[in-house]
């Protein structure tokens, strides 16, 4: 089993058009996206949504 912590700052949520009340959903969808694009074992222990947006693009 693998565990990762996700950080979703206010600015990236705003950039993505995600209200703060939907932060958990944004993190869950990000985790699913990453799992679909790379081996789960390669997902780092700390993930910042800013980094995901920078690498994979927004919207």
Residue 8 in contact with residue 27, Cβ under 8 Å? yes
Number of domains in the chain: 1
Kindly report, residue by residue over 30-44, the tens digit of the pLDDT. 999 999 999 989 999
pLDDT of residue 1: 65
Q: How far is CA 49 from the centre of its chain?
A: 4
| Domain span holding position 39 | 5-56
5-40 burial, b for 16+ CB within 10 Å, e for fewer?
ebebeeebbeebebeeeebeebbeebbeebeeeeee
Kindly report, residue by residue over 5-56, the tens digit of the pLDDT. 999 989 999 999 999 899 999 999 999 999 999 998 999 999 999 999 998 8
């Amino acid at each position: 089993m693998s565990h990762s912590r996700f950080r979703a700052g206010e600015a990236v949520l705003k950039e993505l058009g995600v209200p703060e009340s939907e932060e958990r959903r944004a993190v869950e969808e990000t985790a699913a996206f990453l799992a679909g694009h790379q081996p789960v074992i390669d997902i780092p222990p700390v993930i910042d949504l800013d980094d995901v947006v920078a690498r994979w693009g927004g919207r």
